[in-house]
Amino acid sequence: MKIFVDKLPEALAKKLPPVVIVAGDEPLQHMEACDAVRAAARESGIEEREVLHVEANFAWGKLHEAAASLSLFASSKLIELRLGNHSLGQEGGRALKEYADAPGLRDNVLLIAMGKLDFRQQKSAWFQTLDKLGLFVPVWPVDASRLGFWLRDRAERHGFSLDLDAARLLGERTEGNLLAADQELQKLALLLPPGSRVGPAQIAGGVEDSARYDVFNLTEACLKGERERASRIVRGLRGEGVESPIVLWALSRELRTLLSLHQHLDQGQSFESACKAQKPAIFDKRRPAYQQAIARLPRKRLHKLLLFAQRLDLAIKGANPLPPWEGLHDLALTLAGGRGLLAELPASYRIG
């Protein structure tokens, strides 16, 4: 059964299942979900714990050995199977299916800690069998639009309150890095009297920028029309040393997707059908962002942006005098509905 991180402690308090799968790439929430399972196991009287690290050439027989071997003083144990981003492979999937099908092994609690599971993996035999036995906890990064509210609620756990404007500013400075955000909250809790209220000035003066971005954050901001965020992310990517061709690839891919959506819509298809026709298909969660971008950017504008992207490709290869990162900033900001840094340069440099 699928359950999200914020509901996990409540679910574990009702019943400790024989299997919990914690899957995702966001480290803070992933760590806390696993901690919640460990705490629930201790509270239920399980004292023995065995950790298995899955690496290359892992012997999957160790899983059954761990489940079958108990100390003289224990009737059950917590088995942690830590996969990280390693693939299960056929042998691993078969071993987990066999584990689930062996009723005697279910006296233990199996905690599977792993990276993100895609839809194909969630349809596999091993996953569906384990999912029926226990809990599946997908761990997703906190969406930028919700980050301020998440931080405001999180501050209350540390014994103080955070103005929403202060929470949003903290979110800007720690986006993509919830560990850093929580560390800042912990520092504030140590420095402030209990019950204090924190405003934007205290965040501005005491919190360094520790945000971490990737190109998918950038394309999300561009599609949603978040101009300031798009500009901030381009600067962040450049500062982190991300290669300019990767940024250009991500932006160009979205331009082509938007043009394809326009084409399907012009043929009389519904927006939902146009999204399903993309390769890969645009899932429900992302469709509102594409719908915003389609409404904001006519086909003619998108063609100009794609031509500009081609000039940027030449600039990155040294065959065009256009400054690459300033051009990428201009491309991203224009895609988001703004006006870029190159607007004051000669016409040959501009998007048009």
Residue 328 tokens read as 């990428």
Statement to judge: residues 240 and 159 lie in one domain: no
Nearest residue to 8 via CA among 37, 39, 44: 37
The residues pairing with 51 across neighbouring beta strands, listed in sequence order, are 80
Burial class (CB in 10 A: 0-12, 13-18, 19+), 149: middle
Output DSSP code: residue 296: H
Pick the last residue of a domain from 206, 228, 246.
206
Q: Are 77 and 70 in contact (CB under 8 A)?
A: yes
The residues pairing with 24 across neighbouring beta strands, listed in sequence order, are 139
Q: C-alpha distances in angstroms, 9 versus 79, 136, 221, 335, 346?
A: 19, 13, 32, 42, 59
Statement to judge: residues 276 and 317 lie in one domain: yes
Q: How many CA atoms lie within 13 A of 299 on its CB side?
A: 8
Distance of CA 290 to the CA centre of its chain: 19
Statement to judge: residues 249 and 320 lie in one domain: yes
Statement to judge: residues 226 and 280 lie in one domain: yes
Statement to judge: residues 79 and 161 lie in one domain: no
pLDDT in tens, the chain (352 residues): 899 998 999 999 999 999 999 999 899 999 999 999 999 999 999 888 999 999 888 899 998 888 887 765 667 889 999 998 888 888 999 999 888 887 766 678 999 999 998 888 889 999 999 999 999 999 998 988 899 999 999 999 999 999 999 999 999 999 989 999 999 999 999 988 989 999 999 888 878 788 888 899 999 999 999 999 999 999 999 998 999 999 999 999 999 999 999 999 999 999 999 999 998 888 888 899 999 999 999 999 999 999 999 999 999 999 888 899 999 999 999 999 887 655 444 455 555 5
Helices (H), the chain: 8-14, 27-43, 61-68, 89-101, 119-122, 125-133, 144-157, 164-174, 178-191, 200-206, 215-224, 227-239, 244-266, 271-276, 287-296, 299-316, 324-335
- Confidence (pLDDT) at 106: 63
Statement to judge: residues 52 and 149 lie in one domain: no
Q: Are 148 and 167 in contact (CB under 8 A)?
A: yes
Q: C-alpha distances in angstroms, 311 versus 176, 231, 238, 340?
A: 31, 20, 19, 16
Statement to judge: residues 201 and 226 lie in one domain: no
Domains: count for the chain: 3
Nearest residue to 262 via CA among 312, 306, 327, 217: 306
CATH number at residue 163: 1.10.8.60
Statement to judge: residues 185 and 246 lie in one domain: no
Statement to judge: residues 199 and 258 lie in one domain: no
Is the pTM higher than 0.85? The answer reads no
CATH number at residue 118: 3.40.50.300
Statement to judge: residues 201 and 276 lie in one domain: no
Strands 197-198 and 19-24: unpaired
Statement to judge: residues 229 and 337 lie in one domain: yes
CATH number at residue 222: 1.20.272.10
Pick the last residue of a domain from 90, 115, 139.
139
Statement to judge: residues 88 and 123 lie in one domain: yes
**Host domain of residue 224:** 215-349
Pick the last residue of a domain from 85, 105, 139.
139
